[in-house]
Amino acid sequence: MARKVPEIPSASLADIAFMLLIFFLVTTTMDVDSGLRRKLPPFVPEQQDDTPPIKKRNIFEVLVNKDNMLLVEGDICRLEDLRGKAKEFLNPNLEGENLPEKKTEYVEFFGDTKVLTGSAVISLRNDLDTKYGVYLAVQNELIAAINDLRNDLAKKKFGKLFESLESEQQKAIKKIYPQKISEAEPKKVGGK
Amino acid sequence: MSKFRKNGGKELPPISTASLPDIVFMILFFFMVSTTMREQELKVKVNVPQATELTKLEKKSLVCYLYIGPPQRQFVAKMGNAERIQLNDKFATKADIPAFIQAERDARDEAERPFMVYSLKVDENTPMLIVGEVKQELRKMAALSINYSAKKAVER
């Protein structure tokens, strides 16, 4: 008759597991990195400025000075009002003296619709002393304006949010509301 | 001979701890799955600004981090209070950025390099001067896909 093998004591298993647990608690972080995705323009060394001047009505000009104040289209503006103004500028269905030029173009799913011409652009310029936090807040508002418009259109047309659309549908909406934010080289804006 | 006689002297059986390891292992697996390894020790204070229009960075292995902010308290005596760039574990200047990017690229698979994202973790009080310089360096290195790191803003 075989002798019974003595049971391995498992009392210390908990301690081992606790040790592992504490190791992982200390060495890992939980935060998922998130942020605003942007694309930088490619570097062009010292080019001559031979591009034809863009008409003023096609530019949505945002300036941020060293005191973190905003100048939008020549008027002092609060950060909270920026989103509304940007939406107004980007909406192709609004006509106005200062609003950008529109053209009619065929877009899938939508047929012939009015879209902004390719030269319509949001131009963002900041001072060297502008705080990064303010700069990012401005960027955030501009992106929010575009996202709002895209979501509105997506809801109206497809009954879904922009993010949950299929890529073809997203493409169509992106054609109507492109994300065009141009960042000028920072320079001293306004007085010393 | 009553039914409710106290079992004099009989001790309470000890609570079984046999399931304790299982419970701890469960917690352990939860943490192993839901967290990521700490990237590096921060030598600069980075309090990223808040924003609402956030996108999450999906592929951690393709992200490379650049930190900008004022040095931590223990480095103030040596480095001063002005905002500094931190690359890997060291303080750096903008002149170190091209080498850093090259090294990061070399560390990745060739096929994955076009999808690399450069995450700028910048303190919110940093002047744009230094951020602008870093952006210029990134452009020169054709590192165009960037991410301004930000926290989710609390709804007002």
Where exactly are the structural domains of chain B? 50-151
156 residues of chain B, pLDDT tens digit each = 556 666 556 788 888 877 888 888 898 888 888 877 766 778 888 888 888 888 888 777 788 888 888 888 888 888 888 888 888 888 888 888 889 889 888 888 888 888 888 888 889 888 888 888 888 888 888 888 888 888 887 765
A70-72/A59-64 β-pairing? antiparallel
pLDDT of A31 over the 80 cut? no
Closest CB from A17, A140, A186 relative to B25: A17
pLDDT of A192 over the 50 cut? no
- Total residue count of chain A as it appears in this document: 192
A175: distance to nearest CA of chain B, Å?
20
Closest CB from B20, B53, B146 relative to A40: B146
Backbone φ and ψ of A174, nearest 5°: -65, -30
Phi-psi region of A115 (alpha: psi -120 to 50; beta: other; left: phi over 0): beta
Euclidean distance between CA atoms A29 and B65, whole angstroms: 15
Closest CB from B25, B39, B145 relative to A39: B145
Residue with tokens 């940093």, as numbered in its chain = B126
Best probe of the B interface among A18, A36, A66, A67, by most B CBs < 10 A, is: A36
Report the pLDDT averaged over residues A163-184: 83
Q: Are A63 and A135 in contact (CB under 8 A)?
A: no
B10: distance to nearest CA of chain A, Å?
25
Backbone φ and ψ of A33, nearest 5°: -75, 130
Radius of gyration for chain B, computed over Cα atoms and rounded to the nearest angstrom: 26
Euclidean distance between CA atoms A60 and A184, whole angstroms: 12
Q: What is the pLDDT at residue B9?
A: 62
Q: A93-107, A149-163, B45-59: which range is least confident on average?
A: A93-107
Residue with tokens 């942007």, as numbered in its chain = A38
Interface of A with B (CB under 8 A): 10-11, 13-14, 16-18, 20-21, 24-25, 27-30, 32-43, 126-133, 135-137, 139-140, 143-144, 147, 185-186
Q: B52 by DSSP, 3-state: which?
A: coil
Where exactly are the structural domains of chain A? 56-146
Euclidean distance between CA atoms B72 and B76, whole angstroms: 6
Neighbours of A44 (CB within 10 A): 7
What CATH class has B50-151? alpha beta
Residues 6+ apart with CB under 8 A from A186: A125, A126, A127, A128, A130, B128, B129, B132
Report the pLDDT averaged over residues A71-81: 84
